[in-house]
């Protein structure tokens, strides 16, 4: 994977260098199948497992970049967003002249499926509240974060993806989790975590927040609003994206924001120099 600078207004674009440089924009209209990870597809060209990298981009304010890949899958690295952030910041960010465009939620919108729930509400900044409820040993966890306060790197970036050992064989038979190992996934057994220690006491729900931020990046703009989720997942995250993009009365595009409730203009429309991983 190589991440290259891009002009203002480009957004995040995946480029398949193994397919003559075919480009797939990280936007909702290119959403493909969503199961245990989020995938994009354009004219039959697939990009899978996009959520951790896109979450990292939102977390550090990177608006424009070309992500070059030589296969269909974004590397999982250690299962969190931290290696992507380290890579990008090592290469450097550069402010661009064009103002950042935000998607401001104007009216509440809710998506429900049984006991699962996700919603977006008007707010002055970008905040996320998430609740999960799994069988033991995970149980019920909740976590909230105000992304307007630049807390992403400290509170979320290192939270890793997780999976249940009892589901491993079934998922591999389905062609999923091909790159998964104890080096990049928290493995949960009936009695506890097989490959601890955890990086946060509530690392499971923090990773769900990380995933949600990456999936909402497919709106193509940073959000001004409060997102609440209860036992949601990639399918519901992206259902909210699709719902918002279908109904433009629910939001407005704006460059006029309360600077006290948003991150510094220093990283507005930022871009990295060339980096590799």
Q: At 233, is the secondary structure helix, strand, or coil?
A: coil
Report how far residue 126's alpha carbon sits from residue 92's, in angstroms, rounded to the nearest whole number.
24
pLDDT at 71: 93
User: pLDDT class for 259, splitting at 50, 70, 90?
Assistant: low
CA-to-CA dists, residue 120 to 104, 176, 208, 237, 263, angstroms: 10, 30, 16, 11, 20
pLDDT for 62: 94
Q: Tell me, what's the pLDDT at 272? A: 45
What is the distance, to the nearest Å, from the Cα of residue 270 to the centroid of all Cα atoms in its chain? 18
Q: What percent of the chain has pLDDT over 90?
A: 74
Radius of gyration of the chain (CA): 18
pLDDT number for residue 214: 98
pTM of the predicted structure, to 2 decimals? 0.92
What is the tens place of the pLDDT at every residue in 175-227?
A: 655 667 788 899 999 999 999 999 999 999 999 999 999 999 999 999 999 99
Q: Is 152 helix (H, G, I), strand (E, B) or coil?
A: helix
Domains belonging to the chain, first-starting first, are 2-276 (3.30.1700.10)
Side-chain-side CA neighbours of 218 within 13 Å: the count stands at 32
pLDDT of residue 276: 44
The string of pLDDT tens digits covering residues 75-123 is: 999 999 999 999 999 889 998 888 899 999 999 999 999 999 999 999 9
Active site members: 234
**Would you say residue 138 has pLDDT above 90?**
yes
In this structure, the dihedral spanned by the alpha carbons of residues 258, 261, 267 and 271, taken in order and rounded to 10 degrees, is: -90
- pLDDT, tens digit, for every residue of 216-256? 999 999 999 999 999 999 999 999 999 999 999 999 999 98
Q: What is the pLDDT of residues 16-43, one digit of tens each?
A: 999 999 999 999 999 997 777 899 999 9
Task: Give the mean model confidence (pLDDT) for residues 48-65.
Answer: 95
In which band, very low, low, confident or very high, does the pLDDT at 260 lie, cut at 50, 70 and 90? Answer: very low
Are 165 and 219 in contact, with CB atoms under 8 Å apart? no
- Res 266 pLDDT > 70: no
Residue 263 has pLDDT above 60, yes or no: no
Query: CA torsion, points 25, 27, 31, 36, in degrees to nearest 10?
Result: 100
Q: Which residues contact 238 (CB under 8 A, 6 or more apart)?
A: 28, 31, 34, 38, 215, 218
pLDDT at 66 > cutoff 70:
yes
């Amino acid at each position: 994977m190589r991440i290259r600078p891009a002009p203002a207004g480009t957004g995040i674009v995946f480029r398949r260098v193994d397919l003559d440089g075919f480009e797939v924009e990280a936007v909702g209209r290119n959403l493909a199948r969503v199961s245990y990870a989020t995938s994009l597809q354009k004219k039959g060209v697939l990009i899978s497992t996009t959520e951790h990298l896109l979450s990292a981009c939102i977390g550090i304010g990177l608006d424009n970049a070309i992500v070059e890949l030589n296969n269909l899958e974004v590397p999982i690295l250690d299962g969190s967003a931290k290696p992507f952030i380290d890579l990008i910041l090592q290469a450097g960010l550069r402010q661009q002249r064009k103002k950042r465009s935000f998607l401001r939620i104007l009216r509440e919108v809710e998506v429900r499926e049984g006991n699962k729930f996700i919603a977006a509400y008007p707010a002055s900044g970008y905040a996320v509240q998430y609740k999960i409820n799994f069988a033991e040993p995970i149980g019920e966890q909740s976590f909230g974060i105000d992304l307007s306060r630049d807390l992403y790197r400290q509170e979320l970036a290192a939270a890793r993806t997780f999976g249940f050992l009892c589901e491993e064989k079934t998922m591999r038979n389905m062609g999923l989790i091909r790159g998964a190992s104890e080096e990049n996934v928290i493995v949960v057994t009936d009695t506890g975590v097989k490959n601890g220690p955890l990086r946060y006491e509530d690392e499971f729900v923090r990773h769900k927040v990380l995933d949600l931020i990456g999936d909402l990046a497919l709106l193509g703009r940073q959000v001004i609003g409060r997102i609440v989720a209860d036992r949601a997942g990639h399918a519901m995250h992206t259902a909210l994206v699709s719902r918002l993009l279908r109904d433009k009365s629910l939001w407005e595009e704006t460059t006029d924001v309360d600077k006290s409730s948003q991150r510094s203009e220093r990283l507005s429309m930022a871009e990295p120099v060339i980096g590799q991983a």
